[in-house]
Amino acid sequence: MGDNRTATATRPARPGAPARRSGAAGRLGRSPFSLVTALIAVGVLALVLFPLGRMVVRAFEGFGHQRWESLVGAPWFSGMLRDTVVVVGASAVIALLVAALLAWINERTDAGIGMLGDVLPLVPLFLPTVAMAVGWVLLANPDVGLLNGALGVVLEPLGISYEFNIFSYPGLILVYVLNLVPFAYLPIAAGFRSMDPSLEEAARVSGARASRVLRTVSLPAIGPAVLAGLLLVMVVGFALYSVPVIIGTRPDIDILAVRIIRSIRQTYPPAYDDAVLLSTMLLALLLVLWVAQRRLVGSGQFARIGSRSTGSSRIELGPWRWPMRSLLWLYVTLAAVLPILALGIVSFQTYWQPDLLASEWTFAHYERILFGYPLGQRSVENSLFLGLVGGGITVLVAALVIVYAHRRRNLLGKVADAVAKLPAAVPNTVLALAFVLALAGPPFQLGATLLILALAYFVVYIPYASIASEASVASVDNSMEEASGVSGAGEGRTFARILVPLMAPGLFAAWALVFVRILGDLPVAVLLGTGRTPVIGFVLLDVWDQGIFNRVAALALVMTAITVPVVMVMMWLGRPRWRRAKRARAYRARA
Amino acid sequence: MPADGTDPDAAAAGRLRLEINDLCKEFYRTGGERVRAVDQVSVDVHPGEILVLLGPSGCGKSTLLRCVAGLEQPDRGRMLIDGAVVYDGEAGTMVPAHRRDVNMMFQSYALWPHMSLRDNVAYPLRVQGASRKQARAKADDYLELVGLPGLGRQYVSTISGGQQQRVALARTLINEPSVVLFDEPLSNVDAKVRSQLRRELLRIHQELGFAAVYVTHDQIEAMGLGTRIAILRDGGVEQLADPVTIYEEPATRQVAEFVGEANLIPARVTRVSGEVAVLDCVFGEIEIAAARLSGSAADGDRRAQPAEGAAVVLMVRPEHCRLVRDPAGGGGANSWAATVDATMYAGSRTEYSCQVGTGQLTVWELATPHPLRAGAAVRVEIPREVVRVVEAG
Ligand SMILES: Nc1ncnc2c1ncn2[C@@H]1O[C@H](COP(=O)(O)OP(=O)(O)OP(=O)(O)O)[C@@H](O)[C@H]1O
Ligand SMILES: [Mg+2]
């Protein structure tokens, strides 16, 4: 405490003065707390910039254009580029349309179903992506897909023969779309929510019908939000790995993110050079998109669950109300219910077959995965540990950095803020690769440790946590903190006792999200996980490569089964205890 | 080393609770324009005193208060709380908010929704290191003091706005700070609750005797609570005096206009004969006490007596004017024939707007059972002693 005394130390402490006044005093913000925070911010900075920097340097060092030329000249290159752009582009546009429709139903029409409606389009965010992908393979595999089985029962008597085939462009795009919808939904719903309802009312009293109001008023009014959604969806789409690796490999749809990992994992000797160059390309592309996205909308556009327009100003859909409402449920059915159902069925079947009546049922796959397979149990433990502890630390650090940036508008604050959100533009694939190159070998020798996994997950998911923290910090009035300050509490105490509890709902939601993403992660797991440090994603791809679908289903379901209760507990822990009472009071006041 | 009264003898009970010397604070608006939110302010707060900062919106009251609290860093000047320097622009001293012996009550109350009322109130004690049990016991005492016994277990969202204010007050007072700061604490509740809380605040102040700086733009509140009132305008102190002086002897035209209702009458001095000065104004001739021309006694800064022919501005409170219902009666000095232009009945008084000569005069008649109609012919009279000079030269 004493070494903090700077300027006031020139004055003798007065006799009888209370301790809290005679103690430390200095220039604003030289408290131990802000020192620690600044150090952490610097640490985050180093952790994000160092590996990526090394990778980019490696991409441009030495051999000049030659490597780039040989990459671009490779026989697969143009096909890969075309496939990637077609799949991601088409998925992004379709996801945007679906998300806009869902957001409009929820926010602007009388078909919305309140809080539940807010949550439904976001459900896939809280389920492991890979589980959905595997689920769809089980559903729509050309011969043995469960949906095809069901379809056959209906169509065969009619003499029609039709089959879904997930291993196709439409199939791949379908699963991409299901995955991307939440990312477009968030900004668009926020856009609708902040739109002045009287704009629509004006159109309605002018005699326009609902569809016309949507076309001529609602959609143009949320233009910026739609554009933001499009860019966000592209960023996420280009980075998506688990969907194309599961679905795109068999029909030879060549996706950039998969190519990067393949050039290391399935090439001997590993073609690090190709991976580095491809990653650098992807990175440059996404950075452009990301900058454009930040330009167009501040992060404040992220939707907050809660405040919604009142029923009276909503568009009445009349007979269309139920069909529209069922679209919400259709989305959740396709994105969550059906795939999980398929996982459940196949994981208990002795052999995968569409005919449920003829199936034999067994627990053997679970036994095999969890107990018979040396890595199974350990991978679950590791993933749980990384998700809970690593995820928790990630969220806390993000909160600290964001609060620091929010309060101190100095250079370090701004830089830390930007850096904590920057990895949003960096695909897991690329980050994992950068970590392998920078930290696995000498001098750090972190290869095959849980630490390197934890650090990679930290960097990959800190943007999620930062964006969530930012929204929560903004929702806490400054006076909450100031009141703590004038009550005599220092910055550390104010953070722990006032800010963290008040931000808790947002922080727990972020923790849940990060947990799910870590548990369901593939690219980091594949590149940084090893036989000594297995995580679920690592084992899942291993089993997938062996081609035993029942076991893959069992493992994917285990993954999902872990996330659901954990997410629920976290949401419960983070529920704002004080808000329920408030709502009750508001009702009483109205009555 | 700055020279001021820091010798040990002054560390007695009578020591100033707060000293502000030449404090300045500027803001830069987006676009680069500079705003002097606090402009060379010097005020003191004595033990047990409530100093009210009164002024129109945007005059810098909140900024000054936040500078005292340590939530805002001033640009220049010096501040001492209970004799200890908390800010010195020259020496580069800036004691952060949590190390200053002050506490502040916010306009929005700033109660923490995640803590029970009792824990809210106990927080400043917990910060000082008191045990949870002790702190809670004292918090319960303070909740009782502010009239909320037994509500300690409730949460903020379950109590009314007026109750929230009381809790905020308890939290502000509990660690017995040298100076208590209030930023418009009563502005968020309706008039009835406000006057009740005002009385309560006075009672608690009498009981505890704390020193306070109290920001408001409500003059009734300022008059009722203030030991002294500092009128702020554009960041500077326009007048600093007790409520009676502020009302009866405003130093400037702006103070007169801002506090209460005022008739401002531009006039020109015609002659001064002994005790009485005669001036010329829109009503005709007006006589005032000659001593008034050289400023008010309480003002301190007597100005040179304006020469004959000099322009001045006179001020008369409407309740000091008299309305005589018989237009023919009266006569003599400061009595003019007038017509009632508009009448506003306000219960305890009736407010008349009168046409006198070519000028307007507002007259308040107290407790009138039969208000006059607009158009009535009357006389108005202004007693010589109630006329003040608020601007001269
Ligand atoms: N953070 C800031 N940045 C720029 N200007 C500011 C800032 N805070 C206050 N100001 C300006 O400083 C001046 C004084 O503001 P202040 O809040 O102190 O007024 P006030 O007297 O408390 O007004 P009110 O009665 O409306 O609360 C105003 O012109 C205001 O616009
Ligand atoms: Mg103010």
The reply to whether A409 touches chain B by the CB within 8 Å rule is no
Tally of domains in chain A: 2
CB burial readout B289-327, b (16+ within 10 A) else e: ebebbebbeebeeeeebbeeeeebbbbbbbbbbbbbeee
Structure tokens at A535: 């995580």
Please give the distance, rounded to the nearest whole angstrom, from the Cα atom of residue A585 to the centre of ligand 1: 34
| Residues 6 or more apart in contact with residue A376 via CB below 8 angstroms | A369, A370, A539, A555
Q: At what angle do helices A256-265 and A77-108 cross, to 10 degrees?
A: 130
Residues A394 and A516 in one domain: yes
Residues A186 and A135 in one domain: yes
For residue A113, the enclosing domain spans 80-253
The reply to whether A25 touches chain B by the CB within 8 Å rule is yes
Structure tokens at B121: 């109130």
Determine if the pTM surpasses 0.90: no
pLDDT digit string (tens) for A206-229?
A: 777 777 777 777 777 777 778 778
Query: Across the interface, do B106 and A479 touch by the CB < 8 Å criterion?
Result: yes
Ligand 1 atom 25 nearest Cα: B57
A498 found inside a domain? yes
Q: In a mutational test of the pocket of ligand 1, which residue from B23, B24, B27 has the highest number of ligand atoms less than 8 Å from its CB? A: B27
Residues A39 and A188 in one domain: no
In this prediction, residue B118 carries a pLDDT of: 93
Mean pLDDT (whole number) for A387-394: 93
Q: Determine contact, residues B308/B270, Cβ cutoff 8 Å.
A: yes
**Which of A20, A477, A493 is nearest residue B108 as measured by Cβ atoms?**
A477
In this prediction, residue B353 carries a pLDDT of: 93
The reply to whether A253 touches chain B by the CB within 8 Å rule is no
pLDDT band at A95 (very low <50, low <70, confident <90, very high): very high
Q: In a mutational test of the pocket of ligand 1, which residue from B41, B63, B65 has the highest number of ligand atoms less than 8 Å from its CB? A: B63
**In the predicted model, is pLDDT for residue A580 greater than 50?**
no
Q: Determine contact, residues B386/B334, Cβ cutoff 8 Å.
A: no
Q: Cβ contacts (< 8 Å) between A15 and chain B: which residues?
A: 8, 11
Residues A51 and A86 in one domain: no
Count interface pairs A-B at CB distance under 8 A: 140
Q: In what order do the strands lie in the sheet with B18-28?
A: B34-45, B18-28, B76-81, B84-88, B93-94
**Which of A21, A497, A498 is nearest residue B101 as measured by Cβ atoms?**
A21
Mean pLDDT (whole number) for A100-125: 81
Mean pLDDT (whole number) for A364-370: 82
Residues A40 and A89 in one domain: no
The reply to whether A32 touches chain B by the CB within 8 Å rule is no
pLDDT band at B296 (very low <50, low <70, confident <90, very high): low
Q: Determine contact, residues A151/A350, Cβ cutoff 8 Å.
A: no
Please give the distance, rounded to the nearest whole angstrom, from the Cα atom of residue B183 to the centre of ligand 2: 7
pLDDT band at B368 (very low <50, low <70, confident <90, very high): confident
Residues A239 and A377 in one domain: no
pLDDT digit string (tens) for B147-196?
A: 898 888 988 888 888 899 899 999 999 989 989 999 998 887 788 888 88
Element (DSSP H or E) covering residue A520 = none
Mean pLDDT (whole number) for B249-257: 89
Element (DSSP H or E) covering residue A540 = helix A536-546
A416 found inside a domain? yes
Residues 167-226 of B with CB under 8 A from A: 171, 175, 181
Q: Cβ contacts (< 8 Å) between A11 and chain B: which residues?
A: 6, 84-85
Q: Determine contact, residues A180/A229, Cβ cutoff 8 Å.
A: no
Q: Determine contact, residues A394/A43, Cβ cutoff 8 Å.
A: no
Query: Across the interface, do A486 and B84 touch by the CB < 8 Å criterion?
Result: no
In this prediction, residue B2 carries a pLDDT of: 41
- For the Cβ of B27 lying below 6 angstroms from any atom of ligand 1, the answer is yes
Q: What is the CATH number of the domain that holds A95?
A: 1.10.3720.10
A60 found inside a domain? no
Burial of B26 (0-12, 13-18, 19+ CB in 10 A): middle
Neighbours of A450 (CB within 10 A): 17
Residue B90 CA to its chain's centroid (Å): 30
Burial of B73 (0-12, 13-18, 19+ CB in 10 A): middle
Q: Quick one: which of B36, B41, B96 has its CA closest to B70?
A: B96
Q: Which of A189, A223, A253 is the last residue before a domain boundary?
A: A253
The phi, psi pair for A250, rounded to 5°, reads -65, -45
The reply to whether B129 touches chain A by the CB within 8 Å rule is no
Q: Which ligand is nearest to the CA of B55?
A: 1
Q: Quick one: which of A137, A389, A403 has its CA closest to A250?
A: A137
Residues A499 and A465 in one domain: yes
Q: Quote the mean pLDDT of chain A.
A: 79
Min distance B45 CA to chain A CA atoms (Å): 18
Choose the most confident range, by mean pLDDT, from A6-20, B9-23, B267-281.
Answer: B267-281
In this prediction, residue B1 carries a pLDDT of: 38
The reply to whether B270 touches chain A by the CB within 8 Å rule is no
**In the predicted model, is pLDDT for residue A76 greater than 90?**
no
- For the Cβ of B162 lying below 6 angstroms from any atom of ligand 1, the answer is no
Q: Cβ contacts (< 8 Å) between B85 and chain A: which residues?
A: 8, 11
- For the Cβ of B62 lying below 6 angstroms from any atom of ligand 1, the answer is yes
Which residue of B lies nearest to A31 if distances are taken between CA atoms?
B96
A530 found inside a domain? yes
Q: Which of A201, A229, A253 is the last residue before a domain boundary?
A: A253
Residues 502-561 of A with CB under 8 A from B: 502, 504
Q: Which atom of ligand 1 is nearest the CA belonging to B235?
A: 14
Query: Across the interface, do B155 and A578 touch by the CB < 8 Å criterion?
Result: yes
Q: Determine contact, residues B227/B242, Cβ cutoff 8 Å.
A: yes
A339 found inside a domain? no
Q: Determine contact, residues A335/A136, Cβ cutoff 8 Å.
A: no
Mean pLDDT (whole number) for A464-476: 80
Residues A372 and A457 in one domain: yes
Min distance A28 CA to chain B CA atoms (Å): 6
Q: Quote the mean pLDDT of chain B.
A: 87
Please give the distance, rounded to the nearest whole angstrom, from the Cα atom of residue B64 to the centre of ligand 2: 9
Residues A450 and A553 in one domain: yes
**In the predicted model, is pLDDT for residue A544 greater than 80?**
yes
**In the predicted model, is pLDDT for residue A298 greater than 60?**
no
In this prediction, residue A409 carries a pLDDT of: 65
**In the predicted model, is pLDDT for residue A31 greater than 80?**
no
Domains and CATH numbers, chain B: 8-247 (3.40.50.300), 261-392 (2.40.50.140)
pLDDT band at A11 (very low <50, low <70, confident <90, very high): very low
- For the Cβ of B96 lying below 6 angstroms from any atom of ligand 1, the answer is no
A413 found inside a domain? yes
Query: What is the ipTM metric for this complex?
Result: 0.79
Q: Which ligand is nearest to the CA of B57?
A: 1
Structure tokens at B338: 């007038």
Of A418 and B197, more confident: B197
In this prediction, residue A304 carries a pLDDT of: 36
pLDDT digit string (tens) for A259-290?
A: 888 888 777 777 788 888 888 888 888 888 77
Q: Determine contact, residues A96/A233, Cβ cutoff 8 Å.
A: yes
Residues A51 and A84 in one domain: no
Q: Which residues fall inside 5 Å of ion ligand 2, going by CB? A: B 62
Residues 158-177 of B with CB under 8 A from A: 158, 171, 175
Q: What single letter denotes the amino acid at residue B112? A: W
Residues A33 and A159 in one domain: no
Mean pLDDT (whole number) for B270-277: 86
Mean pLDDT (whole number) for B116-135: 92
Q: Which ligand is nearest to the CA of B54?
A: 1
A180 found inside a domain? yes
Distance set, CA B127 to CA A389, A487, B99, B124, B327 (Å):
29, 8, 11, 5, 71
Q: Determine contact, residues B87/B77, Cβ cutoff 8 Å.
A: yes
In this prediction, residue B182 carries a pLDDT of: 94
Residues A123 and A39 in one domain: no
Q: Helix (H, G, I), strand (E, B), or coil: what is residue B183?
A: strand
A357 found inside a domain? no
In this prediction, residue B41 carries a pLDDT of: 93
d(CA A483, CA B103): 8
d(CA B101, CA A362): 72
d(CA A433, CA A524): 8
pLDDT digit string (tens) for B213-224?
A: 999 988 888 998
Q: Which of A201, A231, A253 is the last residue before a domain boundary?
A: A253
Q: Determine contact, residues B218/B244, Cβ cutoff 8 Å.
A: no
Q: Quick one: which of B209, B179, B215, B174 has its CA closest to B63?
A: B215
pLDDT band at A39 (very low <50, low <70, confident <90, very high): confident
In this prediction, residue A96 carries a pLDDT of: 92
**In the predicted model, is pLDDT for residue A509 greater than 90?**
no
pLDDT digit string (tens) for B59-107?
A: 999 999 999 999 889 999 999 999 899 999 899 889 988 889 999 998 8
pLDDT band at A4 (very low <50, low <70, confident <90, very high): very low
